[in-house]
Homo-oligomer: A and B are copies of this chain.
Amino acid sequence: MLLALSTWCEVEAYLERSRAIIVPIGSMEQHGPTGLIGTDSICPEVIAKAAAEDNPDLLVGPTFNVGCAQHHLGFPGSMTLRPSTMIAAIGDWCASLRRHGFERIYWLNGHGGNIATIAAAFVEVYAERSLSGPDSATPPLTLRQRNWWDLPSVMSVCKRLHPQNEGSHATPSEVAITYAAYPDQVRNVPLQPKVASSGGFTDAEDYRQRFPDGRIGSDPSQATVEAGIEIIDAAAKALQEDFSAFCAL
C-alpha cells in the first residue's frame, strides 16, 4: 500500500490495523559513467514498492529523494541538502506522521552518506520529548533506519552475484537494481579503469580529485537487469520480515 496512491480514508483505515510506516530515503548524486543520478533513491523506493505489493499491512510513504551528497557536487547533476536542513525536514515528516497516530517510522535508506544525518535527525526528534520530561504532551515515536543492503540476507545475494569489485559507490548491485527498475536505462559505457580505486574523502573538490569518474572501488559493468531483479526480490522479502519485526517491537 502506497501513501501517495491512497486516499485519506484508506490511511485512516490502515491506522486501525497498524501504526507503522516505511519511508524510502535516498539521494540524487552521480553514480559513475554508467549509474543513474537517482540510484540511491530508486533502490529503496523500488524495494519498498515491491514489498508493499498486495500488502495491506505495509504502508510506504513518499521517497525522501535528495539527501546528503555534498561530496558528489564536483559531478554535474548531484544535489544535496545541508545536514541542518535535512534534520529539519525529517523532523517535519516525523511530526506530520505522528499527528495522525503513527508511532513507528521505518526509514529504508539507499545512501551511505545519509546514515549519520538520519541518525542525528532521530536524536533531534527524540530530544524534544526527552527534554520535556515524562509528562510531555508529545506522544512517543520509535524511529528506525535500515540500509537496503543491510537487510538480512541481501548482502549475501549481492556477493554471490558480484563476488568481486562490489566497491562502495556505484556498486554493481545498486546499479543492477536501477537497471531492473528501468530496463531501458542500461548504459554500456566503457569504464576506465575497470575497477575504480578506493579510499576516503572530504569535500567535493577532494572527492573529484581522488575518484575522477565518480566510482569508488567498484566495477558496475557487472550490473544486469537479471541480477537487479534477484536483489529486489530478496530485499523485498527481507523488508517485509524486518518491518513486521519492527511493528512487533
The interface of chain A, by Cβ under 8 A from chain B, is: 2-9, 11-12, 14-15, 28, 30-38, 41-42, 61-63, 65-66, 68, 70-71, 73-85, 87-89, 91-93, 95-97, 99-101, 113, 115-117, 119-121, 123-124, 126-127, 129-135, 137, 140-143, 182, 185, 187, 189, 202-206, 214
Q: Kindly state the separation between the CA atoms of A219 and B65 in the bound complex, as whole angstroms.
A: 33
Q: A71 contacts which of B11, B68, B126 (Cβ < 8 Å)?
A: B126
Least distance between A238 CB and chain B CB atoms (Å): 19
**Which of chain B's residues have a CB closer than 8 A to the CB of A119?**
116-117, 120
Bound CA span A219–B31, Å: 45
17 A-B pairs (CB sep. < 8 Å) = A2-B38, A4-B37, A4-B41, A7-B35, A9-B189, A11-B37, A70-B130, A73-B131, A76-B100, A77-B100, A83-B123, A83-B124, A85-B89, A85-B91, A96-B131, A115-B116, A130-B203
- Contact among B28, B38, B83 for A121, CB-based, below 8 A: B83
CA of A15 to CA of B63, assembled, Å: 27
From B41, B70, B89, B101, contact of A131 by CB (8 A): B70
CA distance A80 to B206 in the complex (A): 27
Contact A202 B89 (CB under 8 A): no
Q: Which residues of B contact A63 (CB under 8 A)?
A: 65
A140 adjacent to B30 (CB under 8 Å)? no
> Is the pair A78, B202 in contact by a Cβ cutoff of 8 Å?
no
Which of these, B11, B65, B82, B85, contacts A65 with CB under 8 Å? Answer: B65
**Neighbour of A3 across the interface among B35, B62, B77, CB < 8 A:** B77
Using known A-B contacts A8-B37, A9-B33, A123-B116, determine if residue A202 contacts B80 with beta carbons closer than 8 Å. Answer: no
Task: Decide: B36 and A126 in contact? CB cutoff 8 A.
Answer: no
A131 touches B95 (CB 8 A): yes
Smallest CB gap from A28: residue in B: B62
A96–B116 CB distance below 8 A? no
